[in-house]
Structure 1
Amino acid sequence: MRLDIQPNERAFTTKEVAESLELATATVRRYGQILERNGYEFFKDGDRRIFVRSDIEALIALRDTEKSQDETARDLVEEQKERLKQSTEVAIPDTDEQMLRDPAQLSEFFQALATQLAAAREMNVQLSNDMNELKSKVAQLQQDHHVISSGVGNFAQKTSKNMEKLSEQQKEHYENLLDQEREKNEILKNELQQMREEQRQEWQSQTEFNKRLEESMNQPKGPLGKILALFQK
């Protein structure tokens, strides 16, 4: 159990540490994993790490190290063990009986315990604020989703109506073109029939004229015609 927290020391969340060190939240989590893998101990709220000043200093050392991060993490773990050992020697007597006999040590123990409780309360307040912020963001996302869904639905409905209107207009246009073509075909048909009738009449008239001409040619005319008629006999 960690007893190295200082009186009135503030606790920080992962997000606050990331902002303070100008690191990505994922980087802070990765540094925490490297430290824990080598034996470092964090204050925890469930699975969430709670950082105090000494933890932030460890993260800075891990960030700025020129050695491998695991080697630096092992050095930091040794420093923490030594610090915890010293804190335990001050805060926790060798026996309960001795602690009860020494008011000064008992006072230090309760002071350290009160400090931890204060840090836990502050941590709970921060967690509560984070939860409220998260709820607000979720509510905003839900509202945005509703607005987007409504917009998409209205757009789809409007597009469907426009497509139906366009389809009706195209259908009407094609029907008008078809009627116009039918009228043109009917007019051309009548004109062709009329032309054929005129041609037939022209041929008939020409035939009758040729017939009359032939008959006229076959009938003798005047004295010369009568003489020619004698020879023809």
Structure 2
Amino acid sequence: MRHDIQPNERAYTTKEVAEEVGIATPTVRKYGQKLERNGYEFFKDGDRRIFVRSDVEALIAIRDTDKPLDVITKELVQQQKERLESDKTGVAVNDTYDQSLQDPAQMKEFFQMLANELAASREMNMQLTNEVSQLKTTVSRLQQDHHVISSGIGNSAQKTQAKLERLTEQQKNHYETLLEQERERSEMLREEMKSMREEQQREWRMQNDFNKRLEQTVQEKPQGIWGRFFAIFRQ
């Protein structure tokens, strides 16, 4: 139990300590919590910490050191324990606390401290309320943006699908047209080849008939060169 408070020693609120040390109010609370977890003792009014000069100096030491937070807080806790053990002239905490509240000036200062702490708490609550409101607005805007983006992606996907379907249909029609044209050309080529074969066969038959007549004429009895010649054409 702490007993190192001095008569008429000034008590500081969290906000006043922050101004005294030159750090943010949340940082004061952070350092205080770290000190307490390692065994440091603060004067308390309920759950509120009441800072005295030695506490302020401890926070200044944390502010100015290059050591890790866990290391410096353990050192400060050990220094406090040694100071409390070696202090033989201290007054009991309860007595000092009660006497300080019996002094009108101390009581006024105590109530002023509570008022300042309450005002700081209200200010922080207001800031938190504003931050929560801004966060809700941001989340709502992000949800709207997400809806717009999702709708845009959906519309784009539908348009792309429609284009693909149209292109597929066009390619199918073009392929069928080319296939039909190829069929027609193949049919025409077959007809031409058939016609050429028939023409060639007629020429072969005519040539064959001519050869036969010529052979028959040559085999007949001689009638003179002119007679045989005209006989060929009569046939």
**Equivalents in 1 of 2:153, 2:190: separation in Å?**
54
**Equivalents in 1 of 2:33, 2:101: separation in Å?**
39
- Which residue of the partner structure matches residue 87 of structure 2? none
- Give the match's secondary structure for 2:95: coil
- What's the Cα RMSD here? 3.8
Pair 1:5 & 2:46 matched? no
Q: 1:214-233 to 2 correspondence within 5 Å?
A: 214-222=215-223
1:79 is displaced (CA, Å) by: 8.2
Q: 1:151-170 to 2 correspondence within 5 Å?
A: 151-170=152-171
1:200 is displaced (CA, Å) by: 1.1
Q: 1:83-102 to 2 correspondence within 5 Å?
A: 94=95, 98=99, 101-102=102-103
1:96 is displaced (CA, Å) by: 8.1
- Which residue of the partner structure matches residue 109 of structure 2? 108
- Which residue of the partner structure matches residue 64 of structure 2? 61
Percent identity (aligned): 51
**Equivalents in 2 of 1:80, 1:143: separation in Å?**
56
1:215 is displaced (CA, Å) by: 1.1
Q: Contact between 1:93 and 1:105, CA under 8 Å: does it hold in 2?
A: no
CA deviations over 1:30-78 (Å, ceiling 9, x no partner): x898666535799xxxxxxxxxxx698676435xx0x344222324557
Pair 1:38 & 2:28 matched? no
Q: Contact between 1:93 and 1:99, CA under 8 Å: does it hold in 2?
A: no
TM-score, length basis structure 1: 0.64
Task: Provide the aligned length of Structure 1 versus Structure 2.
Answer: 187
**Equivalents in 2 of 1:71, 1:96: separation in Å?**
31
**Equivalents in 2 of 1:13, 1:99: separation in Å?**
26
- Give the match's secondary structure for 1:178: helix
Q: Contact between 2:40 and 2:80, CA under 8 Å: does it hold in 1?
A: yes
Residues 183 and 56 of structure 1: CA distance in aligned 2, closer, same or farther (over 3 Å): farther
**Equivalents in 2 of 1:158, 1:80: separation in Å?**
74
- Which residue of the partner structure matches residue 205 of structure 2? 204
Residues 150 and 3 of structure 1: CA distance in aligned 2, closer, same or farther (over 3 Å): same
- Give the match's secondary structure for 2:14: coil
TM-score, length basis structure 2: 0.64
Q: Contact between 2:100 and 2:107, CA under 8 Å: does it hold in 1?
A: yes
What residue ranges of structure 2 are gaps of 5+ in the alignment? 1-10, 43-55, 84-89, 226-235
- Which residue of the partner structure matches residue 120 of structure 2? 119
Residues 126 and 195 of structure 1: CA distance in aligned 2, closer, same or farther (over 3 Å): same
- Which residue of the partner structure matches residue 26 of structure 1? none
**Equivalents in 2 of 1:136, 1:204: separation in Å?**
101
CA deviations over 1:97-126 (Å, ceiling 9, x no partner): 646642222212111111110110111111
Residues 6 and 153 of structure 1: CA distance in aligned 2, closer, same or farther (over 3 Å): closer
Q: Which runs of 4+ in 1 moved over 3 A?
A: 6-14, 31-42, 54-62, 75-82, 95-101
